[in-house]
Structure 1
């Protein structure tokens, strides 16, 4: 899959609040069973959690491992979520860089970037 397609899959998966709660549970507890995840998410039933787990798995954001009759889920750190994270990191770096350049342009002669930022936050 291409990086852009991975980003699209990850952002689509992250668009839903229940899916974000599932990811938060997996990030906090590591590999978890569907039952454990369902117990952590009280806003919806087990069937809905299972539906969201399937969507996350199909998007590649999480992976499933079978252990006997149990299915265990974990975040795939090399999957589409990583591509989305790299995209956001680049966007934020550019925004911070542009913000710094903008503050320098707005500062009076002899003022530092920190001086300009302090005036804006005051």
Structure 2
């Protein structure tokens, strides 16, 4: 993984930041106040702190217009990189499903069998 992807996944580890990203994905560009109204688990100051982390990680873009700051997903940055990385992992997992049979299907992963053996 690239360093930007590491920052992106660190940023994604927080529930509030994931909620902020979700709101931006659903509604598009928003101000801090608009985001704080949508993310009711925390206040405006905390949302601003989370946006700083998201911006530093490359997940969110900030646009200034006068006294206002508008935030949106940075689809050309780390969001795309993280998505491509996850897509490659999931693609490999799907490929593996076709070649590996689960142990339960083969009869070797039944909890009742473990109790009889132990």
TM range (shorter): 0.7 to 0.9
- State the alpha-carbon separation in 2 of the partners of residues 86 and 80 from structure 1: 10
In the TM superposition, residue 6 of structure 1 has moved relative to its aligned partner by 1.5
Which consecutive aligned stretches of 4+ in structure 1 deviate over 2 angstroms post-superposition? none
Equivalent pairs counted in the alignment come to 102
- State the alpha-carbon separation in 2 of the partners of residues 7 and 57 from structure 1: 13
Give ranges in structure 2 of 5+ residues lacking alignment: 106-118
Partner of 1:19: 17
In the TM superposition, residue 45 of structure 1 has moved relative to its aligned partner by 1.0
In the TM superposition, residue 96 of structure 1 has moved relative to its aligned partner by 0.7
Partner of 2:108: none
Using the size of structure 2 for normalisation, the TM-score is 0.82
After superposition, give the CA deviation of every residue in 1:30-84 in whole Å (9 maximum; x if it has no partner): 0000100000011111111110011111111101001111100000001112111
Structural RMSD (CA):
1.3
Partner of 2:81: 83
- State the alpha-carbon separation in 1 of the partners of residues 70 and 52 from structure 2: 12
**For 2:44, which of 39, 43, 46 is the aligned residue?**
46
Secondary structure class of the residue paired with 1:65: strand
Using the size of structure 1 for normalisation, the TM-score is 0.80
Secondary structure class of the residue paired with 1:90: helix
Partner of 1:57: 55
